[in-house]
Amino acid sequence: MNDQQLLRYSRQIMLPQIDIEGQQKLLDAKVLIIGAGGLGSPASMYLAAAGIGQITLYDDDQVDLSNLQRQIAHNTDDIGMDKVISTRNTLKKLNPDTKVIVHRERLVGERLDREVENADIVLDCSDNFNTRFAINRACVNHRTALISGAAIRFEGQVSVFTPGCDDSPCYNCLYSSEGEELQRCSTNGVIAPITGIIGSIQALEAMKVIMTIGAPLTGRLLLLDGLTMEWQTMKLRKNPACPTCGTG
């Protein structure tokens, strides 16, 4: 770590739970983020600012005027631009030391498997069930930690899945793959700060897992009702009959 980095990350380094060793873990980390929208924007921005060494980002969409209300990695001049390019530009302005690799495509199949295998941690910032279950399967197969978030209307939720550790459940233990399709912001609406809150929590949980500090949300689902500003925590248990991670 050079003098510029010591100064840039000094407010984190002074925390006894982090110190030089924890900051170095962040600098060495490779994070895969799937989705550059409402959740992926704040999550990627905080991770880059905090000093994550490499961020790989996948999204196949372009910036639209309706995105700007909540997708803070993009601005008005970015309308029509690929979201991954707009996000990369924002992250490089925040922290030019972070290596940002972007792909304008939906991450599926063998490429999904390879990317998860090469990542230290995965953030699911997508908005459809098929993608979420595919990400979860790949993370279970490679025992890669998964930080899952969702936001709609005034509601948000986030959880951490650490396959092979602490008897962690997986995303499929929480949601059946035969359930209803995720509700989308385009049809149900969303208040802007909810995506920022949940995306920021995803970034925090990722940093905790990378540095092995604190108590991540493994085995817990954190729920936020923004209208009443009430938080609830549900305990999650591993499902022995889970089709993805179960033993049955």
Question: Which CATH number covers residue 39?
Answer: 3.40.50.720
User: What does the pLDDT average to over 195-223?
Assistant: 97
Q: What is the number of domains present in the chain?
A: 1
Within a domain: residue 18? yes
Q: Residue 247's pLDDT is what?
A: 78
User: What does the pLDDT average to over 71-99?
Assistant: 97
User: What does the pLDDT average to over 188-211?
Assistant: 96
The rounded distance, in Å, linking the Cα atoms of 149 and 159 is 7
Within a domain: residue 218? yes
Active site residue 173: no
Is the Cα torsion angle 92, 96, 98, 99 positive or negative in sign?
positive
Q: Residue 74's pLDDT is what?
A: 97
Range of the domain at 110: 3-235
Within a domain: residue 247? no
Q: What one-letter code names the amino acid at 127?
A: D
CB distance 138 to 34 below 8 Å: no
Within a domain: residue 206? yes
Within a domain: residue 172? yes
Instruction: Give the confidence band of 122 by pLDDT, cuts at 50, 70, 90.
Output: very high
Where does residue 16 rank: exposed (0-12), middle (13-18), buried (19+ CB within 10 A)? exposed
The active-site residue, picked from 170, 173, 185, 245, is 185
User: What does the pLDDT average to over 20-35?
Assistant: 98
Within a domain: residue 153? yes
Within a domain: residue 248? no
Within a domain: residue 64? yes
The rounded distance, in Å, linking the Cα atoms of 233 and 217 is 9
User: What does the pLDDT average to over 29-51?
Assistant: 97
Where does residue 27 rank: exposed (0-12), middle (13-18), buried (19+ CB within 10 A)? middle
Instruction: Give the confidence band of 140 by pLDDT, cuts at 50, 70, 90.
Output: very high
Task: Please provide the average confidence, as pLDDT, over all residues in the chain.
Answer: 94
Q: Residue 184's pLDDT is what?
A: 60
